[in-house]
Amino acid sequence: MQPSVDREPGAHPVAVGLRTTLERLAAALTNVNLDTLLACEGEMASALAATNKPVEVAPESRAATARELLAARAALVRCSRLGATLADLTRLSLASQGVGQTYGRRGESRATAGVHALEAKG
Amino acid sequence: MPGLFATLSATAKALEAQSYGLDVTGQNIANVGTAGYARREVILTTTAAPDPFSMGAGVQVSGVTATRDRLLERRLQLEKPSETREGAIADALGVVETMIGTSGSSIDKQMSNFFDAASRLSADPTAATARQDFLLAAQNLAGSFRDMASRLASAQQAADARVRGNVDEINGLTAQIARMNNQLGQVDPNGPQALTLKDQEKVALDRLTALIDVTAIERADGGVDLTVGNGHPLVIGSDSIALSAPQTGIAGFVDVTTNGNSILTEVTGGEIAGNIQVRDQFVKDYQTRLEALATQFVTSSNAVHTAGVDREGHAGGALFTTVPASGIAASMDVSTAIAGTATTAANLNKIAAGSIVGAPGDNQAARDMANLRDALTMDSGRATFSDSWGQLAYKVGNDTQAAKEEQASRQAIVNQVQSLSDAVSGVSIDEESMTMLKYQRAYEANAQFFRAIDSTLTTLFSIVN
């Protein structure tokens, strides 16, 4: 008997899972929603775990799967850009206060000049 | 199903919104030490879907708000003038208190020296050294009165100069606020420019309320109209009405007027009110007391001296002379008949130590003069000269202390209101930093999967294609 061409996990549900998670992540980055950001980590791990099994694509779902994959890739690029923006802004903002990368909860590396240097900004 | 352009548009809007939100956070951090800055918050709204089949058109920034508690700010503006008024009084009286000096080191010491000299003169009324000693003590005492009168006049003039300075600064600030009102009327009331202008206006208003008690009425466009005293306008929209400080007040001091009307008695708060009170009430009261003391001292000692007989057998003349028009304390000096002038020598024989003609050993006048120390000549026969001076010194010290305590009390209220206001409007740098770091860390946790996802997507693409 021929194996099912769309057996679980099929390519389409995997693509949908990845696309959904990445779009949720992008939305969380956009709306600055920390809870969703944290929740996405687990979802991302689960979506990836599903791809460990062999997947096949049913001919009838090929087009839909392709669209999901394109959307997932777009979401991935968007997440990367949003993340890069966030990282840059965080780094620059902390640096402007004289806070370096080793900044911790107690602010060990905080310098004194940074804040005053940017006070003229606003 | 949204089209490619719709998706791209939503993504672009989201990127823009996120960038804007983070920029605002950066602004909050950058302005953590900026006076008047109120924490900004971005208002994000979901863009409506263009058609029933779309999930939505993304997110957009609908505005930025400055978190401010108007009630607290108004409360602060009400408390501040009282605090600064008491501060101005305490500062000025602190200087006067130093001028008055400690007990036993000022006029009281010179009065004591004068009576001691009179006692020594009574012990040996014919001795030239005793007469010289008495003259010197009298001159020193007169000099002390003049010096004290001069110092109090200086304190009054300094307060007057500060009133003038306050008026100039008030006019500068009201002109500045009027300009900001004008600018606020030309920008979007919900835009970032309006928020910045309001921050700057708050700084100007805070300083203004420290100078003078004003009534602020908020305008619809976010600006403020200001009145002073019994409703005299200071700022109406983009127009400011300058205060004037013409030298038409008492003793040539400045008045404070607006549109030609004096508001001197209507100003009750702020540094200017404190300076006016110092000039017209506190120092004036001290001058009155000093003048009363000097007047009575001159009257009593001259009465004793003129009742006596000098060494030449003549009736004694006035020991002290004054120019009443210039003030008794300010002009008090030993008679030139005794002390001489720049061109004539002192005549110690003119000191009337006795009361009987032709009795060189008589010391009645000197004894009477020494007895003035304990005579109840002041305060309607209830106080000695020394008591009267002590009361003046005590009054200055008491007024200074009271002003300091009042200032401390008002300061506590201002601090409390400021803390409450800061809790709402202030920027916590730790909070902002931690917010950004939390998002970054949360993002990084997700980003660790990106490479694997990218690889998976590539594999899936190859299968699909």
Give the chain B residue nearest A83 (alpha carbons): B443
Task: Tell me the chain B residues in contact with residue A26 when contact means C-beta distances shorter than 8 Å.
Answer: 11, 14
What is the rounded radius of gyration, in angstroms, for the C-alpha atoms of chain B? 38
* B344-399 pLDDT per residue, tens: 999 999 999 998 887 777 899 999 999 999 999 998 899 999 999 999 998 998 89
Q: Is B53's pLDDT higher than 50? A: yes
- Does the CB of B37 have a partner CB in chain A at under 8 Å? yes
CA distance B261 to B259: 6
Q: Does B1 touch chain A (CB under 8 A)?
A: no
Mark yes or no for CB contact B464/A57 under 8 Å: yes
- Going by C-alpha positions, the residue among B116, B140, B142, B144 that lies closest to residue B370 is B116
| pLDDT at residue B141, as a whole number | 96
Query: Å from A85 to nearest chain B CA?
Result: 7
Query: Tokens standing for A39?
Result: 């929740």
Helices (H), B237-384: 270-277, 283-307, 328-331, 336-339, 364-371
How far away is chain A from the Cα of B167, in angstroms, using its nearest Cα?
29
Q: Write out residues 428-447 of B within 8 Å (CB-CB) of A.
A: 429-430, 432-433, 436-440, 442-447
Note the pLDDT of residue B198: 84
pLDDT of residue A120: 28
Say yes or no to pLDDT of B151 above 90.
yes
Q: Do B26 and A89 touch (CB under 8 A)?
A: yes
| Probe site for chain B from A41, A52, A90, A112 (most B CB atoms < 10 A) | A90
Instruction: Single out the residue of B206, B235, B201 nearest to residue B76, CA to CA.
Output: B206
B32 contacts in A (CB within 8 Å)?
Answer: 115
- Give the tens place of pLDDT for each residue, A83-94: 776 776 666 656
Q: What is the pTM of this model?
A: 0.65
User: Predicted confidence band at B146 (pLDDT cuts at 50, 70, 90)?
Assistant: very high
Which of A37, A88, A101 should we substitute to test contact with B (largest number of B Cβ atoms within 10 Å)? A37
Find residues 61-90 of chain A whose CB sits inside 8 Å of chain B. Answer: 62, 65-66, 69, 71-74, 76, 78-83, 85-87, 89-90
Query: What is the per-residue pLDDT across B405-457, written as a single tens digit (0 to 9) for each?
Result: 888 767 766 766 666 556 655 666 566 666 777 777 888 888 888 888 888 88
Give Cα A59 to chain centroid, integer Å: 30
Contact assignment for B19 to A14 by CB distance below 8 Å: no
Do A98 and A114 meet the contact criterion of CB atoms below 8 Å apart? Answer: yes
Model confidence at A5, pLDDT cuts 50, 70, 90, reads very low
CA distances from B457 to A6, B49, B158, B368 (A): 18, 29, 81, 117
Who among B14, B27, B31 is closest to A30 (CB)? B14
User: Could you tell me which chain A residue has the CA closest to the CA of B192?
Assistant: A122
**Closest-CA residue of chain B to A101:** B437
- Hey, are the CB atoms on B31 and A121 less than 8 Å from each other? yes
pLDDT, one tens digit per residue, over B160-209 is 999 999 999 999 999 999 999 999 988 887 777 888 888 888 889 989 99
Q: Where are the alpha helices (DSSP H) in B101-226?
A: 107-123, 128-184, 192-211
ipTM of predicted assembly, 2 dp: 0.75
H or E element, residue B35: none
